[in-house]
Chains A and B, each alone.
Chain A
Amino acid sequence: MSAQRELRLRTCGALRAGAPALPDQQRTMKTKVIQVSGLLLTLVYAALILWLYATEPRSFKEAASGAELAAGTYQINQEKFAAGQRLFLAEQFRAARAEWQQADPAQGDARTQFYIAYSFYREGWGRVYYDQDLFKQGLEAAKRAANLSATSQLTVADPNLQMHTVAELQAELEQGLERTLSDANPLKVFRTRK
């Protein structure tokens, strides 16, 4: 209650000395509660908008997966992942990637991203030359895997693979993208795929 108003009411005798001015206090309190809750609510909404623009989900499903990832409750589809592995071993790399992309729509699982990168490596590897586009995509996936496993070193103990860490795979993909004089070496046809 403003001092002027209080003085006016006291002069009129409406408020006795020492009597609490309850209605005004209640209203001020109510306004404060509305202001604080409004601020909090709209700040949370603004944070959600920023997050949406930062992650740019392509569908509502992807947005939901992203939210799960942010909340730490994200889990990949294990069945799809296993199906992708079977296709990978059968050298059907594109089909394997399609399965893994469905298994990990939010691209939030380091192991799945490692396998996707590996499939790009194996598909792009050639005895005479490497497919640059596939290697570039593989490098992107490997970088995603590296970012996701930044806190702990990811080691994939799969006997069907010859590279078990993201660092090895990333180095191999980067090497394949480099243009050097050794590319002209005819003996490179004897190198083996990892």
Chain B
Amino acid sequence: MHFILLPMIFLTVALLGGVRIGLDHALIFVAPPLITLVLAILLLSLLVRGRLVELHRWLATDQAPLTNVSHGWLLLTLFFASAQAFNSALPERGLLHWLFSFFFLWTLWNNQFSVFDARRLLRSLIVLFGTAFVVKHILLANLYGPEGGWLTKVAGTLLRGASLGTLDATPFAPASGYLAFFTLALYLAGLFLLAFHPPGEAEARLAAPTDREFLIDVDAIRQDKAESRVERLLP
């Protein structure tokens, strides 16, 4: 799972996080802005603090080099998936982009000083990404979208006019919202998998004796005991 499934999940998030579908149904690829990389680093540090990523188990000198490389690669895919998850939830331009970035930055920075465990961290991330998704893909998309009633259009125009165009947002096809929902859900699913099956467990399982080997051990002990009894009985 940690060598194939999780990297594939995180890479898929990295792929879909920057994909938007234009009003003419054309694919638009949005590369992650610099701020998303900063946010991803903050989130990774939070994942380490919340023990969702246990660096001492992921990268250890007593592990095989190939295992360390695989875990390092998983960490890298997690970083890019985090950056693209933010990219998916952030508005593309204007003041809203910076407002959302500041909201993310403030939340992540504050969380750096809170006491976290993996479950609380996951709940917090669901709320964080969920809020951003609802505001961007439901509220703003309806306000700035080409479809909608006259009231929506009036509200959108008023908001744009009152903010002198700084609160402008790029309209996308509704499919973009579905894509973003799937991307964020996939990202969170990846984190859940990581929380319940952390890397290092598989190696520990490998090092532990299997049932068959355990029975062999027990048999051997029994045999040894029987032999020693026979030795004692013999003159």
Contact = CB atoms under 8 A, between A and B. Distances in A.
B8 interface: yes
A31 interface: yes
A174 B77 CA distance: 45
Contact of B221 (A12, A28, A36): A12
Interface in A33-56: 34-39, 41-42, 45-46, 49, 52-53, 56
B188 to A, nearest CB: 20
Interface residues on B, range: 35 or more
Q: From DSSP, what is the main secondary structure of chain B's interface residues?
A: helix
A56 B31 CA distance: 10
Contacts of A60: 27
A154 to B, nearest CB: 30
A59 interface: yes
Interface string B193-209: 00000000010001101
B82 to A, nearest CB: 15
A57 interface: yes
A36 B64 CA distance: 12
Contact of A5 (B4, B31, B209, B219): B209
Contacts of A31: 202, 206
B77 A9 contact: no
A156 B70 CA distance: 52
Interface string A5-19: 100110011100000
A86 interface: no
A194 interface: no
A185 interface: no
A36 B207 contact: no
A39 B70 contact: yes
A60 B26 CA distance: 9
A27 B213 CA distance: 13
Interface in B173-207: 202, 206-207
A155 to B, nearest CB: 35
Contacts of A63: 27
A37 B66 CA distance: 11
Nearest to B207: A2
Interface in B1-17: 3-4, 7-8, 11, 14-15
Contacts of A52: 15, 29
A32 interface: yes
Please provide the 8 A-B residue pairs with the shortest distance between their CB atoms, ordered closest to farther. A38-B3, A13-B220, A38-B4, A12-B220, A42-B7, A14-B216, A58-B26, A14-B220
